């Protein structure tokens, strides 16, 4: 099913919706079509991929939950020590036995081999370096959009989303 990026009146990304909902918003005049992929819904009406609301919508901040799936996505489904992409686990940079917390800044994706090798030590003690310093994702919507961009689809979304070019 085709997904459509919804922009606020200020061109700020708001959410992702179905092509049906986006089409209804355009037909009712509540949104305008900004981008399309060339496919046609009917003669003279292309399938939208990006729409912009005509009125501004205030959006409350929403926290991204710390889950295994979200950590793996943030880390590109690769071990943060060696880059291996199979048999991934979650590793605490500062082990829980040493008062390490379950926070975005303290957990990384790690393959089983590296996780066992690191053991109950910090990366420095195990002489292992992290490929990237773990951090909290900034925008819940950018995080969600990056999941859709992973397969190379929706390239027309890139210019509306900061940090995904």
126 domain-assigned? no
pLDDT of residue 80: 98
Q: Are 54 and 10 within one domain?
A: yes
29 domain-assigned? yes
Asked if 160 contacts 50 with a C-beta cutoff of 8 angstroms, the reply is: yes
Tell me the CATH number at 74: 1.10.30.50
Alpha helix (H) ranges present in 6-159?
19-27, 68-74, 112-118, 140-149
Q: Are 47 and 89 within one domain?
A: no
Q: Is the pLDDT of residue 150 over 70?
A: no
Q: Are 18 and 44 within one domain?
A: yes
Q: Are 78 and 44 within one domain?
A: no
pLDDT of residue 112: 97
Q: Are 46 and 27 within one domain?
A: yes
Using a pLDDT cut of 70, give the percent of the chain over it. 91
Q: Are 8 and 55 within one domain?
A: yes
Q: Are 42 and 76 within one domain?
A: no
Domain of residue 76 covers 68-118
Q: Which residue has the higher pLDDT, 35 or 165?
A: 35
Supply the pTM of this predicted model.
0.68
Q: Are 10 and 56 within one domain?
A: yes
155 domain-assigned? yes
pLDDT tens figures, 76-134: 999 999 999 999 999 999 999 999 999 999 999 999 999 999 999 999 999 999 999 99
Banded pLDDT at 163 (limits 50, 70, 90): low
Distance separating alpha carbons of residues 117 and 96, to the nearest angstrom: 16
């Amino acid at each position: 099913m085709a997904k459509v990026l919804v922009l606020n009146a200020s061109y700020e990304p708001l959410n992702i919706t179905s092509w049906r909902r986006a089409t209804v918003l355009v037909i009712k005049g509540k949104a305008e079509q900004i981008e399309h992929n060339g496919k046609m819904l009917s003669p003279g009406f292309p399938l939208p991929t990006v729409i912009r609301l005509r009125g501004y919508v205030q959006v409350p901040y929403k926290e991204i939950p710390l889950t295994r799936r979200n950590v793996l996505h943030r880390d590109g489904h690769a071990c943060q020590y060696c880059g291996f992409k199979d048999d991934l686990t979650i590793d605490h940079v500062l082990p829980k036995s040493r008062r390490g917390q379950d926070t975005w800044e303290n957990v990384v994706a790690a393959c089983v081999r590296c996780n066992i090798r690191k053991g109950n030590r910090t990366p420095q003690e195990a002489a292992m370096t992290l490929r990237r310093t773990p951090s909290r994702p900034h925008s819940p919507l950018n995080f969600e959009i990056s999941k859709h961009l992973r397969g190379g689809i929706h390239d027309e979304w890139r210019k509306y989303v900061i940090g995904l070019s």
